[in-house]
Structure 1
Amino acid sequence: MDSLTQIVLGAAVGEAVLGRKVGNRAMLWGGICGTLPDLDVFANTVSDPMSALAYHRAFTHSLAFAVLIAPAVGLAIHRFYGGREGPIKSRWIWPALLLEFFVVLLVGSYLMPIEIYNIPQIVTVITLVFASIFLGVGGIRWLRGFPDKTPNTGWLGWTLLAFGAIVTHPLLDCFTAYGTQIFQPLAKSRVAWNTISVADPLYTIPFLVLLLWARSQVRGSVKRAWVNRAGLIVSSIYLALTVVNYFNVEDVLHRTLAADGIEAEATIIGPTILNNVLWSGTAKDANKDLYYFSQYSLFDEERRFEPWTEIEGHHDWIAPYANDRDLRIIRWFTKDYYNVIPTDTAAYLQVADLRYGLIAEDPNDPASYIFAWQVDTTVHPVRAWQRSAGPDEDVDMGDLFGRLWERAKGR
């Protein structure tokens, strides 16, 4: 999900684990650890677009990463506040911890079953950003004259905090339509339960308000613990309700397809952005290279997806290049829910992700898709990169959200 949500979740987990012992430090480092998996976005700075796409929400979002990195992070935080516990007693503890972080990330990245370019550069950049976090927090403490006299805790306690904050990040991402590669490097499949949007204010805002309220209470007080716990409970209840909505909407989709005589090989549903009321549904025809797209609101009077928009797949247009590395990544990322359409440039084709539906009515318009890539077929293997809207294709976001709002209110 979005970075703010992950920070709030990590901070709340940190407070639940160590708030009574270390006060506001628990929220601080919980929030930081909760964002560590997303350091993989820095792959964009040193690698090609398709490597960055495959690397995001991959090994850094895995259970293996959480298990292997949490002890190093916990020991680093413990030593940061003057602790002397832990398995490493050497004066070179900081270089040793950075080296461990680098090696774990490097080995895990090379074990990924998807071909990634420039792995050493990616791992180096992420390690440097990780080190800069400690430098930044240390610099702030130095400027403040090290005023915080809160007692430290053992490295095992910090390790538990780090693990809890890191592992809940990919677990939450599993509920989104984007999904996460939580079982890397053992499997390349992305776990995506499709129950919540990647940004949902009804999940985040109450959670944030309760976290800030807890932050204002006295360290170690019963009220602080209860308010923080309330944030975790309220957000979890909402997440559970999104699961209920998912199964309800999935049933509506299957009944609609049966009523309309559409034989589907596979289907996928997911909530539209910023809400859990309006859902998109895409069905892959069992007999033709054709997809059906529609939407359903929980406020619709009739329990059915309508109307259907037919989208031609045109998979044969890229069949000669389907096993080229960039297209393999796109096909893996989209789970084969994609279509191919021409662009204004004769040498390029556009491949669009159909899992998120359309943002305009014309399926033949390249600007109608949320996620799309341009593919250069003049080079072999082909090259692909995420499509950027041109000056004549700027999306009116106000109009887009206005149409989503009107549709969400139901028919």
Structure 2
Amino acid sequence: MDSVSQFALGAAVSVAVMGRRTAVWKAALWGGLAGTIPDLDSFIDFGDAVRNMTFHRGHSHGLFWLTLGAPVLAWIASRLGGGRALFKRWWLALWLALVTHPLLDTMTVYGTQLLQPFSEHPFALGSIFIIDPLYTVPLLVGLVVALARRAHRGLAWNRWGLALSCLYLGWSAAAQWHVRQIAEESLAARGVQDAAVLVTPAPLNTVLWRVVAVKDDRFLEGFYSLLDPQRSITFRAFDRGLPLYESLDHLWPVARMAWFSRGFFKMSEEHGQAFITDLRMGQEPGYVFSFRVARRGSGWQPAEPENLGWRGDVGRGIEWIWARMWDSDLPPLE
């Protein structure tokens, strides 16, 4: 999730655990900092664009490492906060602020390596977009009221903010499950069996959903709004570029992206350059992550990975999302 959401979640969790044992602003500040710490790996240059993408949400998001770090952070907070007797309470509050960060990230489609250092597996439910105001606003409102009132009623607002944000996550998972059933029915009606299916919300909402189905040398893309009158999805089919992948799968960036995307990728050639694209973030033909990995010379030659993904008109995209929520006949955004 975005940094504002993670700070707000960490702060709200810390305030809820600390209650009236310390100043609300202290609990919010330390919790917000703890909720931000895992994303500091964004400032590390791992060597190239593919490494920077696939090593993010790695060790810094491992529950094991965060659990080890919690008592150290709690010791600092209890000493600086003037409440040494509250060390155990700070420990609980900041441990929860730390671990809820990667757990929330797991709800997005990007992938979070929760089991580092024991496993690199990127867990990803993908039921919520990385920025969703309906998740973040209740947390912020609860925090603001708690900070302003500094009384029992203010703390209750913080708890309500946490509860509403958790309920929204539950709603997103239920809506995703519902759309997945419709997607599988629509694919079966089209004669597509045993495809890998990805169901994710369009940006900033959980009403409009994007469905991608990968099967052999092609992938299908369709959209479904919970407001659509019919229980079906219209899909468009696209080539995945498997022959190009088979000629370049020995390259580390190609193999890494194929693994990291869990098979939801395509490869393409443009102007003598080969690209591998993560199909999970964006929509055809524009994607956030599309890496140049090779150039034509005497055959294919490895190239320094560079992300040349879509940087188009965000406003136009949001307008299309809003319009498509209400109009099932609206053509896809080109």
TM-score (normalised: structure 1): 0.75
The residue matched to 2:115 in structure 1 has which SS?
coil
Instruction: Decide whether aligned partners of structure 1 residues 41 and 25 sit closer, same or farther in structure 2, where only a CA change above 3 A counts.
Output: same
The correspondence of residues 195-210 of structure 1 with structure 2, limited to 5 A, is 195-210=127-142
Structure 1 residue 56: deviation in Å?
A: 0.7
The residue matched to 1:318 in structure 2 has which SS?
helix
Whether the aligned pair in 2 keeps the contact of 1:326 and 1:383 (CA below 8 Å) is no
Q: Which residue of 2 is the match for residue 399 of structure 1?
A: 316
2:247 counterpart (302, 317, 320): 320
The residue matched to 1:166 in structure 2 has which SS?
helix
The residue matched to 2:149 in structure 1 has which SS?
coil
Q: Which residue of 1 is the match for residue 30 of structure 2?
A: 29
The residue matched to 1:373 in structure 2 has which SS?
strand
Distance (whole Å) between structure 2 residues aligned to residue 80 and residue 329 of structure 1: 43
Please state if 1:384 is matched with 2:305. yes
- Using the aligned pairs only, state the percent identity: 32
Distance (whole Å) between structure 2 residues aligned to residue 225 and residue 301 of structure 1: 42
Instruction: Decide whether aligned partners of structure 1 residues 81 and 237 sit closer, same or farther in structure 2, where only a CA change above 3 A counts.
Output: closer
The correspondence of residues 93-108 of structure 1 with structure 2, limited to 5 A, is none
Instruction: Decide whether aligned partners of structure 1 residues 153 and 9 sit closer, same or farther in structure 2, where only a CA change above 3 A counts.
Output: farther
Q: Which residue of 2 is the match for residue 284 of structure 1?
A: 214
The residue matched to 1:182 in structure 2 has which SS?
coil
Structure 1 residue 225: deviation in Å?
A: 2.2
Q: Which residue of 1 is the match for residue 119 of structure 2?
A: 187
Instruction: Decide whether aligned partners of structure 1 residues 380 and 80 sit closer, same or farther in structure 2, where only a CA change above 3 A counts.
Output: farther
What amino acid is the match of 1:371? Answer: F
Distance (whole Å) between structure 2 residues aligned to residue 262 and residue 228 of structure 1: 47
Structure 1 residue 381: deviation in Å?
A: 5.2
Distance (whole Å) between structure 2 residues aligned to residue 290 and residue 357 of structure 1: 17
Distance (whole Å) between structure 2 residues aligned to residue 375 and residue 47 of structure 1: 14
Q: Which residue of 1 is the match for residue 280 of structure 2?
A: 355
| 1:227-268 deviation line (CA, Å, top 9, x unaligned) | 111111111111111111011000000000111212243111
The residue matched to 2:197 in structure 1 has which SS?
strand
Please state if 1:249 is matched with 2:183. no
TM-score (normalised: structure 2): 0.91
Q: Which has the larger radius of gyration?
A: 1
Distance (whole Å) between structure 1 residues aligned to residue 29 and residue 214 of structure 2: 46
Q: Which residue of 1 is the match for residue 331 of structure 2?
A: none
Distance (whole Å) between structure 2 residues aligned to residue 25 and residue 153 of structure 1: 15
Distance (whole Å) between structure 2 residues aligned to residue 396 and residue 284 of structure 1: 27
| 1:261-294 deviation line (CA, Å, top 9, x unaligned) | 1224311110011000110111112xx4111111
The correspondence of residues 329-344 of structure 1 with structure 2, limited to 5 A, is 329-344=256-271
Structure 1 residue 152: deviation in Å?
A: 5.5
What amino acid is the match of 2:34? Answer: C
Q: Which residue of 2 is the match for residue 233 of structure 1?
A: 163
The correspondence of residues 275-314 of structure 1 with structure 2, limited to 5 A, is 275-285=205-215, 288-306=216-234, 308-314=235-241
- Higher mean Cα deviation, 193-202 or 50-59? 50-59
Q: RMSD of the alignment, in Å?
A: 1.8
Distance (whole Å) between structure 1 residues aligned to residue 327 and residue 100 of structure 2: 34
What amino acid is the match of 2:261? Answer: T
Q: Extract unaligned runs of 5+ from structure 1.
A: 83-150
Whether the aligned pair in 1 keeps the contact of 2:26 and 2:81 (CA below 8 Å) is no
Structure 1 residue 395: deviation in Å?
A: 1.5
Q: Which residue of 2 is the match for residue 129 of structure 1?
A: none
What amino acid is the match of 2:304? Answer: R
Number of residues of Structure 1 aligned to a counterpart in Structure 2: 324
Q: Which residue of 2 is the match for residue 41 of structure 1?
A: 42
Structure with more strand by fraction = 2
The residue matched to 1:270 in structure 2 has which SS?
strand
